[in-house]
Amino acid sequence: MGNKQGWKRRAFFDWRFIKTEHRRSYRLAFILFWSILMYFLVQRYVVSAGVITDISMLPTLPEGNYYLVNKYIYVFALPERGDLVVLRRDRFASEQYVKRVIGLPGERLLIRSGVVYINDRRLEELYAPGPTFPDLGPLTIEKETYFVMGDNRPVSEDSRQYGLVPFGQIEGKIKTDRLFPFR
C-alpha cells in the first residue's frame, strides 16, 4: 500500500483489465474512423502522391518517377510560367496529366517555326529539348485559363490539341525533385 489514501492505483496498461474492458472496441472504431477520414482529407486537399506514366515531360520527369502534388499552394497564389502542374482534362476524368504552364491569362501566344512567343517576345525554354510544332496562333489566353505543354513537345498531348486549361482543372503544383532518390 504505497499510497496514503490506501487505495490501489491502476497501472496505465494492465493485462488483467483488457478482457473486462467493454469500451475497447468503440475506442478502436473511433480511432480507425478518424484516421481514415484524415487520410482522405489530407490526400484531397493538402498533398498526394503520383507516378509519371508517360514520356511527355522528358527530360525533366522520366517515366516511372514519383512526385508529390502540393494541392493547397494555389489557394494562396496563382500558377506562374514554368510551374509543373497536375491537371485533369475535365472534372470527372480519373487520369491526371503533368504539364508545364507556358501561357498565363491575358497574354498573347504565338508558335512559329518551332519557337514560342509570349506577347511578341521569344520564350527561352531550356527545359524543352527541341523545337515546338505545329505552328499556332496568335492566340489570346482567356481570363482564368492557362496554356500548358509538355517538355517533350513531339509526343506531348497538351493545350495545342485540347485547348486552354481552366484554373479549376489544375489540381496542384509539383517539384522536379525525386521523391525517392535512392530507388
Q: What is the pLDDT of residue 65?
A: 84
Q: What is the pLDDT of residue 8?
A: 62
6 has pLDDT over 60: no
Least confident range from 10-14, 115-119, 150-154, 171-175: namely 10-14
* Active-site annotation holder among 71, 99, 156, 173: 99
pLDDT in tens, 56-95: 888 888 888 888 899 999 989 999 999 999 998 777 777 8
pLDDT band of residue 18 (cuts 50, 70, 90) is low
pLDDT band of residue 25 (cuts 50, 70, 90) is confident
CA nearest neighbour of 86 among 102, 70, 72, 75: 70
Record the pTM: 0.77
- Domain boundaries in the chain? 44-174
Catalytic-residue membership of 99: yes
d(C-alpha 75, C-alpha 73), whole Å: 5
How far, in Å, are 3, 107, 156 from residue 160 at the CA level? 79, 16, 9
Q: What is the pLDDT of residue 77?
A: 92
* Active-site annotation holder among 4, 35, 56, 156: 56
What is the grid cell recorded at 90?
475535365
Contact 79, 145 (CB under 8 A): no
Q: What is the pLDDT of residue 139?
A: 92
d(C-alpha 21, C-alpha 144), whole Å: 57
Catalytic-residue membership of 56: yes
As a whole number, the mean pLDDT across the chain is: 85
Contact 172, 43 (CB under 8 A): no
138 has pLDDT over 60: yes
**Cβ neighbours, 10 Å, residue 129:** 13
Homologous superfamily in CATH for domain 44-174: Umud Fragment, subunit A (2.10.109.10)
Q: What is the pLDDT of residue 96?
A: 87
How far, in Å, are 27, 99, 163, 171 from residue 90 at the CA level? 41, 15, 12, 11
Q: What is the pLDDT of residue 53?
A: 87
pLDDT in tens, 105-134: 999 999 999 899 999 999 998 888 888 888
